[in-house]
Each structure stands twice: as structure tokens, then as C-alpha cells.
Amino acid sequence: MLDILMAGGWAMLPILAASAVALAIILERYWTLRRKAVLPDGLGDQVRAWARSRSLDPQHLATLAAGSPLGELLAGALAVRNRPREIIKERIEDTGRHVVHRLERYLNALGTIALIAPLLGLLGTVIGLIRMFMAVMVNGAGDPTKMAGGIGEALVCTASGLVVAIPAYVFHRYFRARVADYVVAMEKQAGALLDELAVHAEPARAPAVARGAR
């Protein structure tokens, strides 16, 4: 295997570097985007129970926000739970943008690797073919070993670029789809919490409205 990689020439170096970066991103995102790490089971129900009991304090909210992306989103809504519904909704949207940005971290880099890896392989292919034709110009077509070396370098680079690009592209699409599913689930939980806060805010406003009517 090492001999095959070395046959690809210096163009293999950026391909190997890209493969190492892609592997690191895939492993990191796979661990970070586990469902129980993003959407802990029962957290939405637990937070709505806290909202009903009004047993919340700044330290409680800080712990909730640090626990998971969903917790951060719900904590952002609870931090302004005594404000009008429009303010709470704006806070959820603002917090959600930051949460989604972190969920998509490194995915652009993974997509870039999926795009440039075949181009790096193509570059190595072109270089190998140039070497082959230069060898033909110097030694003539009578030495097949010179031509075989250039063709081998071209094929190794092409294959290596595709071997890196295909898994990178597959995992890039997979992680994008997983983040999209998480976003839908978090929107659902945030909407349920927003309705819960609105229901419990009405009794608090009712006396004030009654006094104003008198």
C-alpha cells in the first residue's frame, strides 16, 4: 500500500492531508451530533414542568444552557419568560441561529474537501501524464517502463482523490440531514415551551387588566 501511495508522486501529499482532516471532522461531528447529546430524552417535558412550577433561577438556567443545544435554546426562552410573547419568540430565534451555527461547525470544511479532493487527483493525473509524455520525448516510445510510471502515477492520484471525496461527500450530506432533523425537533420543543409560558402568563396579566377596567 505504501508503495502504491508513493507511486502517486508529490500530488499525493495534499490528498493525504485532506483525508486526515476529513477523518478528524467525521469523527468529531459523529460524536458531537449524537442525538442524546443534542436532544436529551425528556428534557422538553422537564423544562415545561419547571416553567409551570416557576422554580427557576439564573444558576439553574446556566446549567440548562450548558447541558445541550436544546437546553441552550430553551434556557434562552426561559430567561425572558416574563416578557411578551413576541420578545420570547425573538429570543428563541436568535438563540436558535447560534445553536444551528455550532451544530454545522466544520461541515463547510468537509464539503470543501469533498469538492477539491477529485481536483487534486486530477492535478496528479495531469502531472503524471506530462511526465509520461516528457519521458517519451526524451527516450522515445521504445521504453515502456517510462510510460508505465507516468500512467501509474496518474491512475493512483485519480483513485486516491475519489477515495477521499466520496466518503467526505456522503458524510457531509448525512450530517447536514441530521442537523436539519434536529432543528425541526428543537423548533417543536421551543414552540411547546412558548405555548406553556403564554398559558401561565395569562393569569398574571388578568388582575392588571381587571384593575384597568375599573
pLDDT tens track for 110-151: 999 999 999 998 888 887 777 777 766 766 655 666 566 667
Mean pLDDT on 97-121: 94
Judged against a pLDDT cut of 50, whether residue 83 lies above it is answered with yes
What pLDDT score was predicted for residue 2?
56
pLDDT tens track for 16-60: 999 999 999 999 999 999 999 999 999 988 888 888 776 677 888
What pLDDT score was predicted for residue 171?
97
Domain locations along the chain: 2-206
Q: Annotate 92-120 with three-state secondary structure.
A: HHHHHHHHHHHHCCCHHHHHHHHHHHHHH
Query: For residue 121, how many other CB atoms are within 10 A of its CB?
Result: 27
What pLDDT score was predicted for residue 4?
55
Question: C-alpha distances in angstroms, 186 versus 20, 41, 64?
Answer: 32, 12, 15
pLDDT range class, residue 211, cuts 50, 70, 90: very low
Mean pLDDT on 93-102: 94
What pLDDT score was predicted for residue 210?
43
What pLDDT score was predicted for residue 163?
93
Kindly tell me the burial class for residue 56, based on how many C-beta atoms sit within 10 Å of its own C-beta (0-12, 13-18, 19 or more).
middle
CA pair distance 134, 39, nearest whole angstrom: 59
CA pair distance 191, 169, nearest whole angstrom: 33
What pLDDT score was predicted for residue 109?
96
pLDDT tens track for 171-197: 999 999 999 999 999 999 999 988 888
Judged against a pLDDT cut of 50, whether residue 214 lies above it is answered with no
More confident residue, 210 or 117: 117
Q: What is the mean pLDDT of the chain?
A: 83
More confident residue, 36 or 206: 36
pLDDT range class, residue 91, cuts 50, 70, 90: very high
What pLDDT score was predicted for residue 24?
97
What pLDDT score was predicted for residue 204?
47
